[in-house]
Amino acid sequence: MSKKQHGFTLITVLILTSMASIVVLNSLRENLVQERLTGNFQKKINSRLLAEKGVFEEAKLLKQALNDNQALDVDGLIAAAGNATGSGLIGDDAIYNATLSKNAAGEIEIASQGRRYSGDAVSNLVARYKMIPGAPKSPFEQAIVGCEGVLVNGSGRIDSYDSADGPYKEEDAGTDARVGTIHHDSDVSLSGGSPIWGDVIVTGNVTLSGSSPVMGDIHANGSVTINGGTGTGVPEGYPADTRVAGDILSMQSIDFTGGRVLGVLRATKDLTIRNNDDGIVENREANGLDIMYGGKGSFPSDLGAHQYQDGKPYSHEVFKKVPDIQPVPSVDPNNPDPNHDYTDPRTNCDPILVVRNNENLAGSSTLTDLNVIEFSAFNLTANQGTFTKWPSWKKPMGQNITPVSRTVFEQPNQQVYVLDSLTVSGGKLTVQSGDVTLYIKNDFRYNNHPSNGFEIASGATLTIYIEGRVIIDDEITAHEPISSVGRAVFSIFSSYETPDMDPLVCHGVPSTGNKVGVELLSNASMYAAIYAPRAHIQVNSDSGNDFNGSLRGKTVSTCGNGGIHYDKRLKDISAGGGGATVPKLQFLGWSYKAPETIVEETEEETTP
């Protein structure tokens, strides 16, 4: 009986060993599966991180392209940015590829694919961005803009300063007071003695017939004519006889009688130098040839020694070369261009459509006349206007006026005082507090003799939207040129229309009829941003009664002896008075998509 039990222990051990082996093998298999899952997960994470990196790199390209050119629309931005492709740091087989497109909602989509281990792991990520346009650029980027022409016939200096550094000081004035035109073939005539401390950038012809020096470049789509004589009132450090401190660039011809030019002469067509004594071209920056012209050259028979370059007289054929001159941007209002950006103040006279804005401000309100006469005083705040004093022989005028809610330049619920006319003559008008806005259907006249004053108190601003004429003949006192919220202390937006004038002249003052839309008479002295794209602006201020700010009109004439001092801070002021903003990209979100099937091309498929 005991012999039959031999080997049972061995069988038991074999059974237990087999069971243990099964457990171990199962555990090894599970570990292998876990290891593979972990590896696949790591590959997937790698591909997702690569896809995210593609989004970040593409977003950088978008922001850089927008920073380089803020005028781009969505399509232009996509084209300018291009695609982002690269590799990660973990290996050469870790790559990303991001592309751009515009979806049906007008949003920018970044489709980024990350790949790891030759495509073993692929992740597709789509990120969405919205382009938020900036506020329009400032219509006050220049000292004087006469869309259809500018006449400088006075003697006051036209220069610049920065009110952030304090009030204007003659000894600290700068040379950023640009004068220019916008409409096609619009001219600038400098017939007076006003020094222009800045560039003259013109879509038509430029004529210097007076003694005005230009302390910058002259760039014209038409011809440039400079009569003899030397400039007066140049900045310290410049030769006293400087006529033009920069280059003279003409898309047509240059007729240069005499004077000192510190830059070069460039004419696409003819060049005439009439004087061999003082027709000096210094070319201080050694910008190639002193003169270049593409047409006919006319020179004195006996050129002066200063009219040679490298041993060759200006009449030598080496100077007969067509220069590369870029035209001044312009617009032809009689021939609309569907591709033109009519919101750009640099190439459009009325980019903010002030006519449409002003027409909508009257509404159905009853219009009243506001007359601040002798011995009366009127205070304005953002919410209430009140007579605080009135003549003894007049009926007490203590009644209040209140603003109404209006949409101003597409900004709803703005508080606006709606008036038929405003006259300040002998009384005192004070803008006491807040951002005060007036709409005036007809004229605004300020002739305070005997003067009682027109004051905009510290912290307050006054913006006038007007369809009639503006006539100012006394000082308007303001304490801060730009408010703490970025508004010009005094702004005028006029939609008044004056007839065309050819040539521009200085009208007798005060003007009659409808010849002048905004008129600053001999006693006018103020800080203001004036926007009148359909009207003629005439400045007749006497010496000592200077204008600080910016002028933008259909045409502009400066006819007095008072100076015009451009505040460079106005470059940051938009139409509504606040600061201009730049466009930006807003991130809307992202989502992962299923990997696309990658089809590897064979050698036969890729061989032509």
Positive or negative, the Cα torsion across 321, 325, 330, 331?
positive
Q: d(Cα 408, Cα 393) in Å, to the nearest integer?
A: 39
What is the model's pTM?
0.75
Cα atoms found within 13 Å of the Cα of residue 534, Cβ hemisphere only = 18
Average pLDDT, the chain: 87
Q: d(Cα 189, Cα 374) in Å, to the nearest integer?
A: 41
Positive or negative, the Cα torsion across 506, 507, 513, 518?
positive
101 in the Ramachandran plot: left (φ > 0), alpha (ψ -120 to 50) or beta?
beta
Measured in degrees and rounded to the nearest 5, phi and psi for residue 82 equal 75, -170
* Residue 524 pLDDT greater than 70, yes or no: yes
pLDDT of residue 468: 96
Which residues, including other chains, have CB under 8 Å from residue 218's CB and lie 6 or more apart?
199, 200, 202, 206, 224, 244, 246, 247, 248, 249
> SS3 for 335-403, per residue?
CCCCCCCCCCCCCCCCCCCHHHHHHCCCCCCCCEEEEEECCCEEEECCCCEEEEECCCCCCCCCCEECC
* Residue 522 pLDDT greater than 70, yes or no: yes
| Least confident range of 115-119, 178-182, 430-434 | 115-119
pLDDT of residue 229: 64
Higher pLDDT, 119 or 508: 508
pLDDT digits (tens, 9 = 90+) for 451-488: 578 999 999 999 999 999 999 999 999 999 998 888 89
Residue 511 neighbours by CB distance under 10 Å? 19
Higher pLDDT, 341 or 327: 327
* Residue 567 pLDDT greater than 90, yes or no: yes
pLDDT of residue 606: 38
| Least confident range of 123-132, 224-233, 346-355, 553-562 | 224-233
pLDDT of residue 94: 83
pLDDT digits (tens, 9 = 90+) for 73-84: 888 889 999 898
Which residues, including other chains, have CB under 8 Å from residue 294's CB and lie 6 or more apart?
267, 268, 269, 320, 321, 322, 323
* Residue 6 pLDDT greater than 80, yes or no: no
Read off the DSSP letter of residue 229: S
pLDDT digits (tens, 9 = 90+) for 48-67: 888 888 889 999 999 998 88
pLDDT of residue 393: 62
Percent of the chain with pLDDT over 70: 88
> SS3 for 234-265, per residue?
CCCCCCCCEEECCCEEECCCEEECCEEECCCE
Cα atoms found within 13 Å of the Cα of residue 374, Cβ hemisphere only = 4
Task: State how far the alpha carbon of 426 is from the alpha carbons of 52, 376, 391, 453, 527, in Å.
Answer: 70, 8, 11, 8, 21
Read off the DSSP letter of residue 574: -
SS3 (DSSP) at 411: strand
SS3 (DSSP) at 52: helix
Percent of the chain with pLDDT over 90: 51
Structure tokens at 592: 């992962």
pLDDT of residue 37: 60
Give strand ranges (E) for 12-171: 84-87, 95-102, 108-116, 121-132, 144-146, 149-152, 158-161
* Residue 605 pLDDT greater than 60, yes or no: no
Q: d(Cα 403, Cα 383) in Å, to the nearest integer?
A: 6
* Residue 157 pLDDT greater than 80, yes or no: yes
pLDDT of residue 602: 41
Confidence of residue 309 (pLDDT cuts 50, 70, 90): very high
pLDDT of residue 450: 60
| Least confident range of 40-54, 165-179, 244-258 | 40-54
pLDDT of residue 601: 42
| Least confident range of 167-171, 177-181, 501-505, 569-573 | 501-505
Q: Where do the structural domains in the chain lie, given as residue ranges? A: 42-134, 205-319, 354-581
pLDDT digits (tens, 9 = 90+) for 393-452: 666 555 688 999 999 988 889 999 999 999 999 889 999 999 999 999 999 999 876 657
Higher pLDDT, 544 or 244: 244
pLDDT of residue 604: 42
* Residue 376 pLDDT greater than 90, yes or no: no
Which residue in 144, 249, 28 sits closest to 548, CA to CA? 144
pLDDT digits (tens, 9 = 90+) for 221-260: 999 999 866 667 889 899 988 999 999 999 999 999 988 9
Which residue in 556, 451, 434, 452 sits closest to 504, CA to CA? 556
